[in-house]
Structure 1
Amino acid sequence: MGSEAEETRNNPTHIHTLISSPCFPVTLQFLDITYRIKLDPPTAGSALNRVLQAQPTPPAPRQERTILDRVTGHVSPGELLAVLGPSGSGKSTLLTILAGRSSARHSGSVLANGARFTKPVLRRTGFVTQDDVLYPHLTVRETLLFCAMLRLPGAVTRAEKAAAAEAVIGELGLGKCADTAVGGAYSRGVSGGERKRVAVGIEMLVNPSLLVLDEPTSGLDSTAAGRLVATLGGLARKGRSVVMSVHQPSSRVYQMFDSVMLLSEGSCLYFGRAGDAMDYFRDVGFVPRFHVNPADFMLDLANGVVQIEHDAEADKTTVKQSLVSSYNRVLAPRVKDCVKDSVSAAAKAASIGSMRLSSTGSREERNYSSVSWFSQLTILLHRGLKERRHETFNSLRVVQVVATALLAGSMWWHSSIRDVGDRFGLLFFTSIFWGVFASFNAVFTFPQERAILAKERASGMYTLSSYFMARTAGDLPMELALPAVFMTVLYWMSGLRQDVCSFLLTLAVLLGYVLVAQGLGLVLGAAIMDAKKASTVATITMLAFLLTAGFYVHNVPRWLTWMKYTSFTFYCYRLMIATQYRGGEVYSYLAASRAGHAASEAEILAQVGVGTSVLALFVMLLGYRILAYLCLRRIKA
């Protein structure tokens, strides 16, 4: 992969062609987009009032909040549309709907070339979220390269995919930081502006027909923002439809917009050419007292705080109502007529374009097929190993495991096989440590990756099954390395049965146990999708498993006996004893023990056979992972 990237860096002409080639034109139209949410009624003091009042108060009806109210507009190929508005005006919600990434119910229509969104159109739609959802330990080049491998059609060669990644790096000015880790909240990496450009670059890889960006200039200085918007404008000029939201652009950036939509509390105050905005507001009675950046003036209008000609102290609500009324009366009819015309024109153009594609056998259409399942698995596995090696083998975790092994080995230094009580305590301590360690680490897996999983699946990068299999397979070498080191150190220090066969059997039991405990953590994390809540449930579950494993309590109440057989710690503890004591030798050692109650500890040997214990752990190993996969399927992409 690295050699291919090196080769493509030496072929700039071919690289530029890959992301600059004409794309299939998509005209985006949206008609009367309305989205409302129901608010929960206030509950403070309601329970106390119901107790004190003679007659109970009926529950208050749920109120509705309008996030978007009949928003209409369109953007054509070659056009850059900017959605302006203050925080909370509905910009992000609108863009999520326009990109086809919203699972919430809304009214109105979103059309591409006069028809509803289809999977092929969604594949040609790039969506850059407001929050940068990236793997922190991958470099910029690795991030773009893996995305190119997954997102570009299967018919494109690996060298061409590497070339596309290099082209994006050059196009967005990421060459200086290409080999720097992206970074995140807990690890250092590239700057915020560079991270935003990486997020934009991921969407540019597919040569999108429609590109939707939610505040791509946030966190950038004026120069960097101007450079990024100029790049987006250049992408639009090549036949793409580009929609972006922006909070407060500079006057230089504003001049780069072709069309502008101004939102305020979900209502549209203006939609039209960027250069015509000030004339429109002047016609409806809103004129600035001095020369001002058009974007600043429009944001003041959206907030209702601008001074106007006829009433310098106008009420904010009055200003907004006047603007909404003026838009609905003056502009809205024209906008809807224009959108309807664009729908018919786009449908006609799409029909002609479709005929041309079918007759010429355009490579863009013919080869736009997904990467094979096995290729997805291979690429995701490679990416996962590169990303998680830093997390699994970080110095703190390695020191924690090795220090625990040394401490336990010192406590049980060359213990005698005849000291059954001490030996049982060592084996159960090992079960406790790795049961808790593995399950708690796994609990955080899917909650932490939920955002990036949902984003990449929505982009059609891979299937859930390939992701899950790559995640499971990639965990094997990394999750099993540390327990192997732990057991190697502890086993020979503590003086457990001194033969290689017993050591290998004990190690095999521990590794299988770790995988089962990890499976429990994966299930809880996938089912709850909240790391704090899932870790709390994991604590209670592991506590129940440890108490019923047969070390602390031997005479478990009958009505709780069933819990013992659901505890993988019970089966692991049973198997570890079997690896150290063969046949009936444990009974002879217990009989010679001065601790009279110690004989009861051997009862665990007669409760479940070795074969049954192995089978139970194997069933749990598969069962937990199947449950985790089914829980992940509930998450909408």
Structure 2
Amino acid sequence: MAAPNNATLGDGTQVCLMPGGVPVTIQNKTSWESVGCLEGFFCQHNTDDNLPQYCPPLPECQDLRLSGVQCTPQGTFEPVLCDAGWYCPNNGTQRIECPSGSYCPHGVASPIKCSIGSRCPAGSQRNMNFLPMGILLLVDIILITATVMEKLRSRYKKSNFHNKRVSSRKAVLATGAGRFRNRQYQEIDEGNNGFNDDVENEYQMEPAIRGPLRVKTGFEQLGAQEADFMLHEELANDAGGQKTDLHLFVQSLSKCLGATKFGLTFEFQDLGFKPPKSNKKILDQVSGTIHAGSLWGVMGASGAGKSTFVNVLMGKTSHTGGITKVNGVAGNISKYKKIIGYVPQDDIVLPEMTVRENILHSARIRLPANWSNSEIEHHVDILVSCLQLSHVKDSLVGSPGAPVISGGQRKRVSIGMELAAAPMAVFLDEPTSGLDATAAASIMSTLKALSRLGMTIVTIIHQPRQEIFESLDSLVLLGQGRMIYCGPERGIQPHFQGLGFDFPDHTNPADVMGDIIAGEGRHYKPKGDASVQYLIDHWQRKQQDGSASENYAKTATISMGETNALSATIKQRGAPWFKQIYFCFQRSLVQQYRMKSSFYFELGVGAMAGFLIGLAELNQKGQNFRGIFNSPYDLLSTSIDYSSIPQMALLVGLAIGLTASAPGVKIFGEEKLVYWREAAAGHNRFAYYIGKVISTIPRMVLANFHFTTMFMLLSTPRIPYLSAFVANLLYFYCIYGLASIISMVTRREDGPLLAVMMSLIVGVLNGMSPSLKKVRSWHIIWIWRASPGTWLAEAYFTQNITPLKYLYQIDVAKTSVGYLLNMFGDDLLMLLAIGTIYRIVAFLGLRFMWRNKQR
């Protein structure tokens, strides 16, 4: 407070001065109380130790004060608030302009030094710090420069690659004419996709031409062999020359498996499955054996139980009846999932990653823990070459809606992700679905080669071409959840012909067989029973009399040494959890880096939100609180303003919620299918989640940096920049955690909208209106305290009004609104705790919801 020098008349008579300076004399010193004090005057004897006291102001002045505006002093002796831009030392007897490099808000007795990087000319009343803005501009310039440089480098590589391909094409054309004249036909390797790679487009098609003299590479070398593949003989015959990719891949498998037998044998007896809330059995009395080192097809009409059979066989679904064995050992098949690969019908791959990166991540997670990174990369490079993906290994996979590689290549990537783990058995669901004839044949050729390596390959297949059908070694035919046939492919036609069905000439046997097991057998058997039930009963009789076993070989005996080796192999599989965290973190960072548009959009939204909120607070000039003056000047107080700071915190919370909620949903909401596939393959669920969570920290820091810098520059509140930055960052942390929960319980399409709605709810529950004092009287304050918005508002309230305790009764303000003061550290800890609790809940949802999809 500032007060003019005191003055009295020489005879000690009390004096009050009107604004115009006209003296009014009171009769004597002792009678003033009975006379009363005239409005607008001070009527107490004033000394240096006894400052003037308040008299009711004039009506015009009272109106101004109730509006929060100062008025002209009501008499010479009325204390006034030191003006903003000035400071009033020596008990308010001096009024000095605020010097350069400092700022002076209302009522200060000494100037406050501005922070480094601030612009504070003489007479400044707020601290405008430009240092964070300068750092922000530098960061943005670096980000933009890195993006532009990457685009230029990418264009240069494409141009260089294009020129090399054109040169190669000209060379081929120059020599191709002579070959044509000499009738030495030779097709360009499929790995090069003909001349299609010369065309700069995103749709690389599968090759459609196959010449008679084409040199086979990779798996095709082995797929062409009709004899059984014997690993030790192949390696023994190696003369020491340069090994092919196939030999190198086989050696890598041998090192990983520790044995020359790569496959698993599956036996099932009277297998049955009935859903928990259904009386109808989907599988019933299904018996047979699937041998290692062979390519099996599972066929049947829709609803025949094909998918259920495969899921039960590989341990994704627990059977409700019968016995299953792996290599002759009964028990829980799910314990073998580290050495069993599963390729779903839809190609679940990450579109932001390249072909090689998708396969490499699977290898790093699932190969033995004692393998070095160089060994893993060598294994992956060999596999990529064998799968004929070398020419696209650095291409992004893309999404089905925006493909970068062809459908066949995408399918081979999906298969490669399983082969990278060196499985002993691979199950595939409709691997040729959606592919053209050439791509489908290529995929089946790859699977055939895998079976010749000794792996067990089981694929669900629907209406195959004749060549694909004949490439299968054996078949399992199902109808109405029962077995119709289990045995070699070559025995299918004789089996059905023995039942009276005709196979017309020049027809695809697979089509005829498909019609028969689908209940359309009357077209091929005019007389007699042609129903599916008849087929089921016939096969059951064959099993009972033992004649069905003639259609497939007896199960090989598994030695105890091989069983122990298999158990040791399973124990060695998989990187330790802390390495998996790093791999998932690294992959997620790459994904976010590749999705630059989404990342920059979030930064832009954060900056724009901070600018708008700061603009809304601009007129306050940093003076966003008015309370009751400290005694004895409390009656001089203007109208109080306790709501501006909670209102500012509300706007901050809403802006952060709108900025962070949608990106927070996207982190997990669009990858649940990937998570389910990886969890089913044995990935550590906790490592996957923690890796993703840690990867969001740089994103949150940058988005918060843009928001807080713009907001603080314009609003200039009393809270320090670093304190606001930390509080806002922790609120970002809470919103990302809340969005994670939303992504677990909703569909991907609904997640962003619901996350925005929830962020608005927790933002509004910040104790502004209704106030915490009011809520406490309702006995439901725990609801508000469970919201991060309340703790953010309390942190802002503490840091903004505590510096004003020299001027205002801040304890009265605290009581009025219900916030606690001097608890800034606790407020930040609670924001951290709430954000962490949100993530724990999200992880539990990720872990325990949709559990059947994670098996």
TM-score scaled by length of structure 2:
0.62
Q: Closer, same or farther in 2 for the Cα pair 1:351/1:333, shift >3 Å?
A: farther
Q: Which residue of 2 aligns with 1:54?
A: none
Q: Closer, same or farther in 2 for the Cα pair 1:542/1:396, shift >3 Å?
A: closer
Structure 2 residue matching 1:255: 3-state secondary structure = helix
Tell me which amino acid in the other structure corresponds to 1:615: L
Q: Which residue of 1 aligns with 2:274?
A: 36
Q: Which residue of 2 aligns with 1:479?
A: 700
Q: Closer, same or farther in 2 for the Cα pair 1:392/1:486, shift >3 Å?
A: farther
Q: Closer, same or farther in 2 for the Cα pair 1:577/1:164, shift >3 Å?
A: same
2:838 to 624, 627, 630: 624
Aligned alpha-carbon RMSD (Å): 3.5
Tell me which amino acid in the other structure corresponds to 1:418: Q
2:723 to 471, 485, 505: 505
Q: Which residue of 2 aligns with 1:570?
A: 790
Indicate yes or no: 2:671 matched with 1:449: yes
Relative to its length, the structure with more helix (as a share) is 1
Q: Structure 2 CA distance, aligned partners of 1:267 and 1:570?
A: 61
Q: Structure 2 CA distance, aligned partners of 1:602 and 1:389?
A: 48
Q: Which residue of 2 aligns with 1:245?
A: 460
Q: Deviations over 1:276-322 (max 9, x none)?
A: 2111111101113443111111111122224445527x99xx62222
Q: Deviations over 1:519-542 (max 9, x none)?
A: 23334544x365577778756754
Q: Deviations over 1:161-204 (max 9, x none)?
A: 11121122112222232112222256543333222111111111
- 5 Å-filtered alignment, 1:218-617, equals 218-308=433-523, 311=526, 319-330=531-542, 333-334=545-546, 337=549, 342=554, 345-346=555-556, 348-351=557-560, 353-354=562-563, 365=569, 368-391=572-595, 394=598, 395-413=600-618, 415-420=620-625, 424-439=646-661, 441-443=663-665, 445-460=667-682, 462-497=683-718, 502-526=720-744, 528=745, 530=747, 542=759, 544-554=761-771, 555-556=774-775, 558-584=778-804, 588=808, 603-606=817-820, 609-617=823-831
Q: Closer, same or farther in 2 for the Cα pair 1:617/1:120, shift >3 Å?
A: closer
Q: 1:149 offset after TM fit, Å?
A: 1.0
Q: Which residue of 2 aligns with 1:127?
A: 342
Q: 1:142 offset after TM fit, Å?
A: 0.7
Q: Closer, same or farther in 2 for the Cα pair 1:572/1:335, shift >3 Å?
A: farther
Q: 1:469 offset after TM fit, Å?
A: 2.2
Deviates more, 1:536-545 or 1:475-484: 536-545
Tell me which amino acid in the other structure corresponds to 2:622: I
Q: 1:37 offset after TM fit, Å?
A: 2.9
Q: Structure 2 CA distance, aligned partners of 1:120 and 1:339?
A: 30
CA contact (8 A) 1:155 1:367 kept: no
Q: 1:67 offset after TM fit, Å?
A: 2.0
Q: Structure 2 CA distance, aligned partners of 1:537 and 1:332?
A: 58
Structure 1 residue matching 2:267: 3-state secondary structure = strand
Identity among equivalent pairs (%): 25
Tell me which amino acid in the other structure corresponds to 1:613: D
Q: Deviations over 1:38-82 (max 9, x none)?
A: 66xxxxxxxxxxxxxxxxxxxxxxx63332232222222221111
Q: 1:567 offset after TM fit, Å?
A: 1.6
Q: Closer, same or farther in 2 for the Cα pair 1:621/1:332, shift >3 Å?
A: same
Structure 1 residue matching 2:671: 3-state secondary structure = helix
Tell me which amino acid in the other structure corresponds to 1:291: H
Q: Structure 1 CA distance, aligned partners of 2:581 and 2:427?
A: 28
Q: Deviations over 1:350-406 (max 9, x none)?
A: 335358x59xxx9x8499343222222221111121123345762443433333333
Deviates more, 1:107-116 or 1:624-633: 624-633
Q: Closer, same or farther in 2 for the Cα pair 1:416/1:162, shift >3 Å?
A: same
1:139 to 329, 345, 354: 354
Deviates more, 1:287-296 or 1:423-432: 423-432
CA contact (8 A) 2:271 2:322 kept: yes
CA contact (8 A) 2:581 2:687 kept: yes
Long gaps (5+) in structure 1: 1-8, 40-62, 592-597
CA contact (8 A) 1:79 1:236 kept: yes
Tell me which amino acid in the other structure corresponds to 1:16: F
Q: Structure 2 CA distance, aligned partners of 1:337 and 1:289?
A: 28
CA contact (8 A) 2:350 2:358 kept: yes
Q: Closer, same or farther in 2 for the Cα pair 1:524/1:335, shift >3 Å?
A: farther
Q: 1:478 offset after TM fit, Å?
A: 1.6
Long gaps (5+) in structure 2: 1-217, 219-241, 255-259, 626-642
Q: Structure 1 CA distance, aligned partners of 2:829 and 2:768?
A: 21
CA contact (8 A) 1:38 1:65 kept: no
Q: Closer, same or farther in 2 for the Cα pair 1:134/1:412, shift >3 Å?
A: same
- 5 Å-filtered alignment, 1:111-190, equals 111-116=325-330, 117=332, 121-184=336-399, 187-190=402-405
Q: Closer, same or farther in 2 for the Cα pair 1:81/1:481, shift >3 Å?
A: same
Tell me which amino acid in the other structure corresponds to 1:27: T
CA contact (8 A) 1:144 1:201 kept: yes
Q: Structure 2 CA distance, aligned partners of 1:15 and 1:310?
A: 51
Q: Structure 1 CA distance, aligned partners of 2:404 and 2:449?
A: 28
Q: Deviations over 1:15-36 (max 9, x none)?
A: 4344564444421112222222
Q: Closer, same or farther in 2 for the Cα pair 1:79/1:486, shift >3 Å?
A: same
Q: Deviations over 1:103-136 (max 9, x none)?
A: x443222211111256663322111112222222
Deviates more, 1:582-591 or 1:176-185: 582-591
Q: 1:444 offset after TM fit, Å?
A: 5.2
2:314 to 92, 95, 99: 99
TM-score scaled by length of structure 1:
0.82
Q: 1:268 offset after TM fit, Å?
A: 2.4
Tell me which amino acid in the other structure corresponds to 2:284: D
Q: Closer, same or farther in 2 for the Cα pair 1:590/1:616, shift >3 Å?
A: closer
Q: Structure 1 CA distance, aligned partners of 2:654 and 2:416?
A: 46
Structure whose alpha-carbon radius of gyration is higher: 2
Q: Structure 1 CA distance, aligned partners of 2:662 and 2:818?
A: 27
Q: Structure 2 CA distance, aligned partners of 1:334 and 1:19?
A: 41
Deviates more, 1:619-628 or 1:257-266: 619-628
Q: Structure 1 CA distance, aligned partners of 2:784 and 2:378?
A: 57
Q: 1 or 2 for the larger relative contact order (CA 8 Å, sep ≥6)?
A: 1
Indicate yes or no: 2:267 matched with 1:16: no
Q: Closer, same or farther in 2 for the Cα pair 1:247/1:187, shift >3 Å?
A: same
Structure 1 residue matching 2:738: 3-state secondary structure = helix
Structure 1 residue matching 2:467: 3-state secondary structure = helix
Q: Closer, same or farther in 2 for the Cα pair 1:301/1:546, shift >3 Å?
A: same
Q: Closer, same or farther in 2 for the Cα pair 1:68/1:440, shift >3 Å?
A: same
